[in-house]
Structure 1
Amino acid sequence: MPFIQERKERRIVRLLERISSEPEMEVSLRRLESMSNMSSSIFIGGVGLTISINNTLNNKFNEYNSIFILVEEDDIQNPLVTTLPEGMYACIYYNGNHSDSPEHYRSLLNCIQDNSFQVIGDSIERTIIDHYISGSKEDYLTEIQIPIKC
């Protein structure tokens, strides 16, 4: 069920690159970890992907434009740190992984349209529970956030 939530600014290290498969995502994550001297396994839900605003609005949900790691306070001095902006987001949680996301993006976009909101930035997709944490696909949990103007 979609909901609207205000989010504070979040610090991240981010690798801007096209990702369109699970193997590409793994390679990009390892590259990001080595560039930033950070580990993505620091905490659950610390890794995310983004989809460009154009791809989001054109229902192209299988091509990511970046991968990021949320930064903990200890890593704030890292020169690669950037931010996800604060603001209002249309959000949804669902059981499943990245391959299950298109129907949930459509649900969010319908909610945004029904409420006359406007998409104002790249979508954010975070895996909270995946195959590294649980062997059961029913336990997988993913969150999608789309920045909006109300």
Structure 2
Amino acid sequence: MKNFFKIGEISKLYGIGVDSIRYYEEIGIIKPKRSESGYRHYSIHDIWKLNVIRDLRSIGFTMEQIRKYLNHHTVSSSLSMLEEEKEAISKQMQHLQKLQKNVEHRLNNIHSALSLPLDKIHLRNIPPRHCHRLPEGYETEEEMDLLIKQLINLNQNRLYIIGSNQIGTIVSLPALLNKGTLSYQSVFLIDDEGSDIIDGGDYLCVTYHGSYEKSAYWGQQLTQYAHTHNFTIHGNLLEILWIDIHTTSDESEYITQLQLPIK
């Protein structure tokens, strides 16, 4: 077996960039010997250190932590390092389990959205929903994206990927009925840890495909349906984005649900 390896061999063997290996040398973690021709020669001891670096870096240890351990390691420090590794791996597992749950939730939501009945008004009883809310209106999708980012930042413990059908907006019903325009009053993010609450109760609901502009038409249809069936409207219109730009770039694939609170 070879006793020394060149930097290119080490880089290929471990999938570590040459620049990274040189950096480890600069900070004194590994100390290759020089051949007569000036090439770096890495020993079996250096390879062991690269193993440690690779494993500890993969679970989030800093280079300073690794450097201190490698420069002076004993049975005691090895035991301590293994305990820290165990804790770090446990945290990573928790993170991955949380991410997996988030992915499964989003998959279920998309499948559920695709199975929703379209263009049909129906009555639903919806329980109270905790949420984060920003009482700021917007006019463009770009403005809404900024507000959504602010909402997500309100709970750093949640993981949001590829959008979320838990995002919604409040549409002014007076503006819709009097002017026929969509006036977005606020945005919300349904979250069990949210400090605000969307009232539970009966809602007239309708789901449609396509552009958000259809909310004006369907909002008026919900209002007319409520009057025809002698319901009393009890608040503004909720617009829930089941499938939006975060899931598809094809506007025709958007799925939006309107919820009108009634009594």
TM-score, length basis structure 2: 0.49
Task: Say if 2:239 is the partner of 1:120.
Answer: no
Q: From the superposition, tell whether residues 29 and 19 of structure 1 become closer, same or farther in structure 2 (CA, over 3 Å).
A: same
1:15-65 CA deviation, whole Å, 9 max, x = no partner?
Answer: 001222212211222222234435554863110001234334435542111
User: 1 or 2, which has the higher strand percentage?
Assistant: 1
1:100 CA displacement: 2.3
Q: From the superposition, tell whether residues 122 and 36 of structure 1 become closer, same or farther in structure 2 (CA, over 3 Å).
A: farther
Q: From the superposition, tell whether residues 71 and 95 of structure 1 become closer, same or farther in structure 2 (CA, over 3 Å).
A: same
| Residue equivalent to 1:98 | 212
* 2-structure distance, mates of 1:81, 1:67: 14
| Residue equivalent to 2:132 | 13
* 2-structure distance, mates of 1:99, 1:112: 21
Q: From the superposition, tell whether residues 112 and 135 of structure 1 become closer, same or farther in structure 2 (CA, over 3 Å).
A: same
The answer to whether the 8 A contact 1:119-1:147 is kept is yes
Residue 101 of structure 1 aligns to a residue whose secondary structure is helix
The answer to whether the 8 A contact 2:176-2:216 is kept is no
* 2-structure distance, mates of 1:5, 1:43: 24
Which one has a bigger Cα radius of gyration? 2
Residue 92 of structure 1 aligns to a residue whose secondary structure is strand
Q: From the superposition, tell whether residues 98 and 140 of structure 1 become closer, same or farther in structure 2 (CA, over 3 Å).
A: same
The answer to whether the 8 A contact 1:61-1:101 is kept is no
| Residue equivalent to 1:130 | 244
| Residue equivalent to 1:48 | 168
| Residue equivalent to 2:122 | 3
1:77-99 CA deviation, whole Å, 9 max, x = no partner?
Answer: xxx51111111101100002422
Q: From the superposition, tell whether residues 43 and 24 of structure 1 become closer, same or farther in structure 2 (CA, over 3 Å).
A: closer
1:90-118 CA deviation, whole Å, 9 max, x = no partner?
Answer: 11000024222111111111111111111
The answer to whether the 8 A contact 1:91-1:145 is kept is yes
* 1-structure distance, mates of 2:170, 2:203: 14
| Residue equivalent to 1:64 | 184
* 1-structure distance, mates of 2:181, 2:124: 22
The answer to whether the 8 A contact 1:97-1:130 is kept is no
Percent identity (aligned) = 24
Residue 135 of structure 2 aligns to a residue whose secondary structure is strand
TM-score, length basis structure 1: 0.83
The answer to whether the 8 A contact 1:59-1:106 is kept is no
Q: Which runs of 5+ in 1 are unaligned?
A: none
User: 1 or 2, which has the higher helix percentage?
Assistant: 2
The answer to whether the 8 A contact 1:127-1:141 is kept is yes
How many residue pairs match? The answer is 143
Asked which structure has the greater RCO (Cα within 8 Å, sep 6+), the reply is: 1
* 1-structure distance, mates of 2:227, 2:240: 23
